[in-house]
Amino acid sequence: MTNLSLDASPPRTRSSLWLNALSARFGQHSRTLRRALKTVAIVVGLLLMALVVTVPLDLYAQCFFALACFAAMLVIRKMPGRISVLALVTLSLLASFRYMYWRLTSTLDFDNWLDSLLGYGLIVAEFYTLIVIVLGYVQTAWPLHRKPVIMPSDSSQWPTVDVFIPSYNEALSIVKLTIFAAQSIDWPRDKLRVYVLDDGRREDFREFCEQIGVGYLTRENNYHAKAGNLNEALKSTDGEYIAMFDADHVPTRSFLQVAMGWFLKDSQLAMLQTPHFFFSPDPFEKNLDTFRSVPNEGELFYGLLQDGNDLWNATFFCGSCAVLRRSSLLDIGGVATETVTEDAHTALKLNRAGYNTAYLAIPQAAGLATESLSRHVAQRIRWARGMAQIFRTDNPLLGKGLSLGQRLCYANSMLHFFYGLPRLVFLTAPLAYLLFGAEVMHASALMITAYVLPHLAHASLTNSRIQGRFRHSFWNEVYEAVLAWYIMGPVLMALVNPKFGGFNVTDKGGVVEEKFFDWTLARPYIVLLTLNAVVASTNWAGITMRSP
């Protein structure tokens, strides 16, 4: 019996190997077949969309088509789940692409050079808006919603972490809170070191750090601003990981235990970002009394966009409330110094080098929002200029190392800050007609309505479904309209000359209680509003006088 069993064993082994090989080959063919079917489905879908977008319809047929799509949208919006979101996105793209196709083929028959100049300017602004809408859907339609990974129970396996708190001109009373909170982070004492990186070279900071036993690092100059400060600190420290907090961002005790698990699970993970949460109102919230009742300006980015970026492995580093792997950071030459948005550029470089980035949408620190509108605008100008610099010098659509999804997410985040000029085009388009009689769109009012309304309605309601509690459509218009005039110039200048301008620090000195109207910042919009009102009134008076 034993011999028979031994003799029979090899055939059974060969049979098992043959079956395993057959199964593996079948699995490989099955995966290939699924990929092929998916590709065919995408191609067929795109062809059908192209057919729907380009089919010519008269006014009544277009109105019927628009009403049918709108009715379908109203039904689908009530359905839960991500599939319904994708259906809404598809309907929105159909309406928007159909509108743009109609604009390009039926409305550009201009009679003179002024109509041509202003009309083509408007179509370029609309085309930009369409690109941002499409890329926005790619970013936000399917957010990842990553969950924390639990740390090993044996703390001897936990890595060493250096906490960097860079400071330049913040008051010690503000930075103290962050330092004390960093010291209190729940992590083995022998594996946690806190450093204040003082670019202001202040003696009271040095004395305070010595008194409480935290590291104090400074340098002889301020080359490359915050990025240079961080890179200098890298030379004097040796922790396996680096947690970074702005001087006013107070971390929770659980910060590292929430964030570090993913680094132990993914050896290629170079950076993990958590949200920036603010316990004070920003200028919009303070002046309009919307604090905690309306999502603030940054909530869309930290509540949805970063989760969407995470799906594509394209999470942005935001300069604070984040952890970076030292070896990965050193591999790309440290924090990027070529642009004024060193954080976003560093994340791009990490992704180009093949490293992963991640996002946990769990607030683990709280900070101060910008106190005044002027400081808020100055901060957004720096962000806009920095993104334009990256787009100009290290364009994510070009070069090696990025997947298609990463390229699109980075590109959309940079293109977003180009909205200044298109927004001003839309705001001044009525003046072009009222002042100069320029016809920037050659079509009847009914045809314009039949194509424009579906485009705007679908885009607005679809984004409302996706963005939900993170951004209300009306407030999006308010935020961008206020900033448009001020970011337009720096963005255009950065595209022409990326090295122009310096790094401006966002001052944060506490909470401003009093309210005041900033007439200087409001001046361009007061002029625009006055012009529209005067010209509209004049034209209305002329029409009234001519009427019998």
Catalytically active residues are: 199, 343
Q: Where are the alpha helices (DSSP H) in 437-518?
A: 445-467, 473-496
Name, in order, each residue with C-beta under 8 angstroms of 10's C-beta and a sequence gap of 6 or more. none
DSSP 292-319: TTS--TTHHIIIIIHHHHHHTT-PPP-S
Distance CA 247, CA 341 (A): 17
Residue of 443, 445, 460 lying closest to 70 (CA atoms): 460
**Contact assessment for residue 195 and residue 217, using Cβ atoms and an 8 Å cutoff:** yes
| E-only strand ranges, 331-483 | 356-359, 365-367
Tokens matching residue 529: 């509003």
Name, in order, each residue with C-beta under 8 angstroms of 207's C-beta and a sequence gap of 6 or more. none
Long-range contacts of 524-532 (CB under 8 A, 24+ apart): 524/485, 525/481, 525/482, 525/485, 528/427, 528/428, 531/431, 532/430, 532/431, 532/434
Residue 247 carries which DSSP code?
Answer: T
Q: Is 477 exposed, middle or buried (0-12, 13-18, 19+ CB in 10 A)?
A: exposed
3-state secondary structure of 362: coil
Long-range contacts of 442-451 (CB under 8 A, 24+ apart): 442/107, 442/108, 442/109, 442/110, 442/119, 443/106, 443/107, 446/59, 447/59, 447/62, 447/106, 450/59, 450/62, 450/63, 450/66, 451/62, 451/66, 451/98, 451/99, 451/102, 451/103
Distances (CA, A) of 337 to 217, 225, 290, 323, 349: 19, 9, 37, 19, 11
Distance CA 459, CA 95 (A): 9
- What is the helix (H) or strand (E) element at residue 215, kind and residue range? strand 215-217
- What is the helix (H) or strand (E) element at residue 181, kind and residue range? helix 172-183
Tokens matching residue 194: 């806190």
